[in-house]
């Protein structure tokens, strides 16, 4: 199953989209991955990492080391005194939370190094991405999900296509935003009309370029249309794309969005209900989400 299917003409020849090519090419203009980020991304493809290995790499990155220590000593994690070493902080967070924090902090730093139009807020993009990642991961812990280990990274990178569009073809991005605002039509529909592709498709192609696991690519590709997700599911499972859709819609609805929006008082929980999460589970899940988001938010604005 490939998320990189291309439109073809009547003879079967792949059709090129210059805007898509330009947007995807801008991925190569991002700063190179740090050694610690490379290690974490490799672990997503079944390469095992230990606290000692990650701690040694983190210690070589002064900013990341300080952030990991600050997170480990936050109210959410510091219940038995402060951590004074990176390795102690890493053990306190646990491998899963540590890797998620490294992914988020390292990738957010990459986004912050490029030139962006004044109308685009990297801060809003970063906090929306990490909020969606955190909530996706929490949902995946409470529901039978296809490839649950990919929930955080899929949430973190689900909108990278938006970022690439803004960086590489800002005039077209503005046209899409203006068309959506003036007509009330969904942004994805406007993207297809003006660009010939959607940011979700571009996001999936970016993940394929980085050689991230295919289930993550598929989830990102269909995060606005999980009903079209072709993933093969075991009985009782839901697709990871549906988890992303639920997390994305909820975070947007409470105002944690790439665009300025009027937040809803209670948030859009309908997609979580559709996943089979009842009110009691949702209450506990969202309480945990708010605590984790509060601890992480400061590193992304």
Residue 108 pLDDT: 87
What pLDDT digit, counting tens, does each position of 212-234 carry? 999 999 999 999 999 999 999 99
Residue 191 pLDDT: 96
Structural domains of the chain in order of their starting residue, each with its CATH number: 18-299 (1.10.3210.10)
Q: Mean pLDDT over residues 127-134, rounded?
A: 96
Residue 7 pLDDT: 52
What pLDDT digit, counting tens, does each position of 179-208 carry? 999 999 999 999 999 999 999 999 999 999
> Residue 282: is its pLDDT beyond 70?
yes
> Residue 14: is its pLDDT beyond 60?
no
Distance CA 178, CA 170 (A): 12
Residue 239 pLDDT: 97
Q: Mean pLDDT over residues 254-276, rounded?
A: 90
Assessment of whether the complete model's pTM goes beyond 0.95: no
Question: Of the spans 11-20, 105-114, 137-146, which averages the highest pLDDT?
Answer: 137-146
> Residue 3: is its pLDDT beyond 80?
no
pLDDT greater at residue 231 or residue 54: 231
Residue 13 pLDDT: 43
pLDDT greater at residue 51 or residue 63: 63
């Amino acid at each position: 199953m490939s998320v990189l299917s291309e439109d073809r003409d009547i003879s079967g020849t792949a059709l090129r989209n210059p805007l898509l090519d330009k947007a995807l090419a801008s991925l190569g203009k991002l700063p190179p991955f740090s050694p610690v980020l490379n290690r974490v991304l490799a672990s997503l493809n079944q390469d095992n990492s230990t606290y000692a290995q990650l701690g040694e790499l983190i210690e070589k990155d002064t900013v990341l080391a300080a952030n990991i220590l600050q997170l480990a000593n936050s109210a959410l994690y510091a219940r038995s005194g402060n951590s004074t070493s990176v390795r102690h902080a890493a053990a306190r967070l646990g491998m899963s939370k540590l890797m998620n924090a490294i992914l988020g902090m390292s990738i957010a730093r990459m986004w912050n190094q490029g030139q962006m139009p004044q109308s685009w807020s990297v801060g809003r993009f970063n906090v929306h991405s990490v909020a969606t990642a955190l909530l996706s991961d929490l949902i995946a812990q409470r529901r039978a999900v296809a490839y649950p280990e990919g929930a955080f990274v899929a949430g973190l990178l689900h909108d990278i296509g938006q970022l690439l569009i803004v960086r590489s073809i800002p005039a077209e991005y503005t046209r899409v935003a203006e068309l959506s605002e003036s007509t009330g039509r969904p942004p994805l529909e406007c993207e297809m009309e003006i660009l010939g592709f959607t940011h979700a498709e571009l996001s999936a192609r970016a993940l394929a370029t980085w050689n991230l696991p295919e289930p993550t690519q598929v989830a990102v590709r269909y995060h606005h249309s999980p009903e079209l997700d072709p993933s093969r599911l075991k009985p009782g499972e839901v697709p990871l794309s549906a988890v992303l859709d639920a997390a994305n819609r909820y975070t947007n609805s409470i105002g944690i969005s790439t665009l300025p929006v009027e937040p809803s008082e209670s948030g859009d929980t309908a997609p979580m209900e559709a996943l089979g999460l009842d009110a009691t589970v949702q209450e506990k899940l969202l309480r945990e989400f708010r605590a984790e988001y509060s601890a992480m938010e400061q590193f992304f604005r």
